[in-house]
Amino acid sequence: WQLLKPAILGAIMEHFMSSAPVLAKAGPAAETSQTGEFYDKADEELVITIKELLDTRVRPAVAQDGGDITFRGFENGTVFLHMKGACAGCPSSTATLKHGIQNLLRHFVPEVQQVEQVS
């Protein structure tokens, strides 16, 4: 328990500080594919670019630290990513997500406004 408590408390506090809703509703335009991804068909070109950037620039760097990041969806300018492995419990994952990945995606895909972590 002594090992789990700080990680659990950190995750709860991080969510609380983000002011994100406890439960999120999927919009009517969002579609879920067989891979669990959701995005509007009109954004398919953007999603392809986002996935390519993640696969070529983000995932290799994250894999060096024992983690992985996968694309989950794109809706209203927000990219939703799932962090696995060492990234899932890392205290600096929020900084990596917000400062590193978000800035990279904003630079190459101006339609991206923010990046959020989903489980």
| CATH number of the CATH domain containing 72 | 3.30.300.130
Residue 74: what pLDDT?
A: 93
Contacts of 59 (CB under 8 A, 6+ apart): 68, 69
Q: Is the pTM of this model over 0.85?
A: no
* The token pair that represents 81 in the structure block: 């990513």
* Count of structural domains within the chain: 1
Look at residue 18 and tell me if it is in a domain: no
Is 7 a member of any domain?
A: no
Instruction: Please report which residue ranges of 19-57 form alpha helices under DSSP H.
Output: 44-53
End-to-end Cα separation, the chain, in angstroms: 22
Q: Is residue 32 part of a domain?
A: yes
What SS3 class is residue 112?
Answer: coil
4 occurs within a structural domain: no
Tell me the residue type at 113. Q
pLDDT of residue 1: 66
Per-residue model confidence (pLDDT) at position 30: 45
Does residue 34 lie within any of the structural domains? Answer: yes
Confirm if 83 and 117 have CB atoms less than 8 A apart: yes
Q: Which residues constitute the domain of residue 51?
A: 23-118
Residues of the chain with pLDDT under 70: 1, 13, 15-35
Give the pLDDT score at 110: 93
Instruction: Note whether residue 12 is domain-resident.
Output: no
Residue 60 lies in a domain: yes
